[in-house]
């Protein structure tokens, strides 16, 4: 009985193995293409009864089933679809890249324009500051020059007043000296004329006064005498003229600057 069981087990296992092979073939065939006819496989098996003690036959080698060549599936439409999708994705990516590059260029252009506007604004601000500083310095220079001019004018006015005062003082000194020199010169002339004057008998006893005009050369030589206003008679006039000619050459002044050719002398011989 036990031996019979061992004889049944190999047969059963062989059946299961062949069934599994057939099932796998059928499964594979079912997922490829249902348009091909199903070809049944021949399986040889021996049925063993429970009381049969005969030895089991050797299993017969079954030839491998000839694989059915299946034509390759038509993938042209799928390939075209994939190619079109790939091209669409490529074009989309290219368009996105183009848009991104254009946006980057636009952003760079805006940034550049912003930098240029900022640079121009800063340059204009620097220019305005430079102009303001230049105007300020120019105003300061004008103010300095104006103050310097006023100072120089004030100093010049002070110097002019000082010079004018000095000139006036010198002129007054010269006038005073000249007056003294003239007085001394006229006195010397009158003294010399008086020494040469002979008083006529007809002259008044006192108070004789006559204005005498004398023309002389630089060395005092008398060239003309004219008696003007006089309280004496003609004899007195002739006596004065004679006295002037006798006194020639008249005394020269100590200060040559006061010399004059024409003299007007108030002759008072009685003084």
For the residues of 173-221, what is the DSSP string, one character each? Answer: HHHHHHHHHHHHHHHHHHHHHHHT----TTS-SS---EEEEEEE-TT--
Average pLDDT, the chain: 80
* Interval 199-257: pLDDT, tens: 888 887 678 888 999 999 988 899 999 998 988 888 989 999 999 999 989 998 888 88
Q: pLDDT tier at 14 (50, 70, 90 boundaries)?
A: low
28-42, 126-140, 221-235: segment of lowest average pLDDT: 28-42
Q: Please give the pLDDT value at position 110.
A: 93
Q: Please give the pLDDT value at position 267.
A: 87
Q: Determine the Cα angle at 20 with ends 15 and 26, to 5°.
A: 125
Helices (H) and strands (E) in the chain, counts: 3, 3
- Report the pLDDT averaged over residues 161-168: 87
Q: Please give the pLDDT value at position 23.
A: 59
The separation between the first and the last C-alpha atoms of the chain, rounded to the nearest angstrom, is 215
CA dist 182 and 258 (Å) reads: 7
Is the pLDDT confidence value at 147 over 60?
yes
Q: Which residue has the tokens 């100093």?
A: 155
Cβ neighbours of residue 62 under 8 Å, at least 6 residues apart?
18, 42, 43, 44
**Whether 82 contacts 66, CB under 8 Å:** no
Is the pLDDT confidence value at 12 over 60?
no
Q: Please give the pLDDT value at position 2.
A: 42
Q: Please give the pLDDT value at position 8.
A: 43
Is the pLDDT confidence value at 96 over 90?
yes
- As given in the structure block, the two tokens for residue 71 are 């034509």
- Report the pLDDT averaged over residues 185-190: 89
Q: Please give the pLDDT value at position 171.
A: 77
CATH code 3.30.1150.10 region(s) in the chain: 184-267
Q: pLDDT tier at 3 (50, 70, 90 boundaries)?
A: very low
Q: 264 has which bridge partners? A: 213
CA dist 148 and 160 (Å) reads: 18
Cβ neighbours of residue 224 under 8 Å, at least 6 residues apart?
214, 215
Percent of the chain with pLDDT over 70: 70
* Interval 60-86: pLDDT, tens: 666 666 666 666 666 788 888 888 899
Q: Please give the pLDDT value at position 29.
A: 46
Is the pLDDT confidence value at 99 over 50?
yes
Is the pLDDT confidence value at 132 over 90?
yes
Sort residue 220 into left (φ over 0), alpha (ψ -120 to 50) or beta.
left
* Interval 107-123: pLDDT, tens: 999 999 999 999 999 99
What is the assigned CATH class of domain 184-267?
Answer: alpha beta
Q: Please give the pLDDT value at position 224.
A: 93
CA dist 140 and 127 (Å) reads: 20
Is the pLDDT confidence value at 152 over 60?
yes
CA dist 271 and 181 (Å) reads: 20
Q: Please give the pLDDT value at position 66.
A: 67
Q: pLDDT tier at 7 (50, 70, 90 boundaries)?
A: very low
Percent of the chain with pLDDT over 90: 39
Is the pLDDT confidence value at 27 over 80?
no
């Amino acid at each position: 009985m036990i031996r019979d069981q061992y004889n049944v087990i190999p047969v059963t296992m062989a059946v299961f193995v062949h069934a599994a092979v057939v099932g796998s073939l059928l499964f594979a065939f079912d997922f490829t293409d249902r348009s091909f006819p199903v070809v049944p496989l021949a399986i040889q098996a021996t049925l063993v009864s429970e009381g049969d003690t005969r030895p089991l036959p050797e299993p017969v080698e079954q030839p491998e089933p000839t694989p059915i060549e299946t034509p390759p599936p038509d993938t042209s439409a799928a390939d075209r679809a994939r190619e079109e999708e790939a091209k669409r994705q490529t074009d989309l990516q290219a368009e996105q890249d183009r848009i991104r590059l254009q946006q980057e260029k636009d952003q760079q252009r805006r940034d550049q324009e912003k930098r240029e506007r900022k640079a121009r604004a800063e340059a204009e601000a620097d220019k305005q500051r430079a102009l303001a500083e230049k105007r300020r310095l120019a105003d300061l220079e004008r103010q300095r020059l104006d103050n310097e001019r006023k100072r120089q004018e004030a100093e010049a006015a002070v110097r002019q007043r000082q010079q004018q005062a000095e000139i006036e003082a010198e002129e007054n000194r010269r006038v005073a000296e000249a007056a003294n020199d003239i007085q001394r010169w006229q006195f010397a002339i009158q003294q010399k004329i008086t020494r040469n004057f002979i008083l006529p008998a007809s002259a008044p006893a006192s108070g004789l006064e006559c204005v005498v005009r004398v023309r002389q050369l630089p060395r005092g030589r008398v060239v003309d005498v004219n008696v003007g206003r006089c309280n004496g008679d003609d004899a007195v006039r002739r006596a004065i003229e004679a006295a002037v000619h006798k006194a020639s050459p008249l005394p020269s002044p100590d200060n040559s600057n006061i010399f004059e050719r024409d003299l007007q002398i108030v002759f008072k011989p009685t003084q």
